[in-house]
């Protein structure tokens, strides 16, 4: 007997509701189990996305059967291009992808790696900002 998966119902910012798909449920659980910060059913520039990972500017879209039509694929391509132009990395997963432990593991490793790199860059930038602040303070003291 197939195990029934409990799926979340998410309230969108516009007040409407969305019941997550089985694929979205699997991705959400994987992200949660690895402590990755994400927003589900998030709006970016008016575009609803399945998952948004703010720390690494990644969007994950889970494309189930409804995405197999030509019209939907064209729309998905436009969405991907728009989000990419805005600076987001878009990862599209098919229904088969989300059921593959190898693909999910690879995705999580990529996200964790990028998150670590982002943190290092941010820490370096913060250090540079502090050094610059110290230099400016020293200049102001010398001018006084």
Task: Provide the CATH number for the domain around residue 85.
Answer: 3.40.960.10
99: containing domain: 9-143
**Residue 60 · residue 50 · CB < 8 Å:** yes
Which distant-in-sequence residues (6+ apart) come within 8 Å of 6 by Cβ?
Answer: 25
Q: How many domains does the chain have?
A: 1
Q: What pLDDT digit, counting tens, does each position of 87-132 carry?
A: 999 998 988 888 888 888 888 888 888 877 766 665 565 566 666 6
99 within domain boundaries: yes
Asked if residue 45 belongs to a domain, the reply is: yes
Residue 98: closest CA among 65, 49, 53, 72: 65
Q: How many residues does the chain have?
A: 144
Phi-psi category of residue 9: left, alpha or beta, with phi > 0 → left and psi -120 to 50 → alpha = beta
User: Is 68 within 8 Å of 95 (Cβ atoms)?
Assistant: no
In a domain, 138, yes or no: yes
Q: Is residue 70 part of a domain?
A: yes
- pLDDT tens-digit series, residues 49-94: 999 999 889 999 998 777 678 888 898 899 999 999 999 999 989 8
The model's pTM = 0.69
In a domain, 2, yes or no: no
């Amino acid at each position: 007997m197939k195990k029934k998966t409990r799926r979340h119902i998410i309230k969108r910012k516009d007040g409407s509701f969305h019941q997550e798909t089985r694929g979205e449920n699997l991705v959400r659980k994987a992200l949660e189990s690895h402590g990755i910060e994400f927003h589900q059913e998030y709006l970016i520039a008016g575009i609803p996305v399945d998952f948004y990972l703010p720390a690494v500017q990644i969007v994950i879209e889970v494309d189930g059967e409804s995405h197999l039509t030509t019209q939907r694929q064209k729309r998905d391509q436009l969405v991907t291009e728009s989000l990419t132009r805005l600076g987001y990395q878009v990862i599209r997963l098919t229904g088969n992808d989300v059921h593959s432990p190898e693909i999910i593991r690879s995705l999580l490793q990529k996200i964790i790696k990028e998150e670590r790199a982002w943190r290092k860059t941010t820490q370096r930038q913060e250090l540079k900002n502090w050094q610059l602040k110290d230099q400016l303070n020293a200049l102001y003291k010398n001018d006084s």
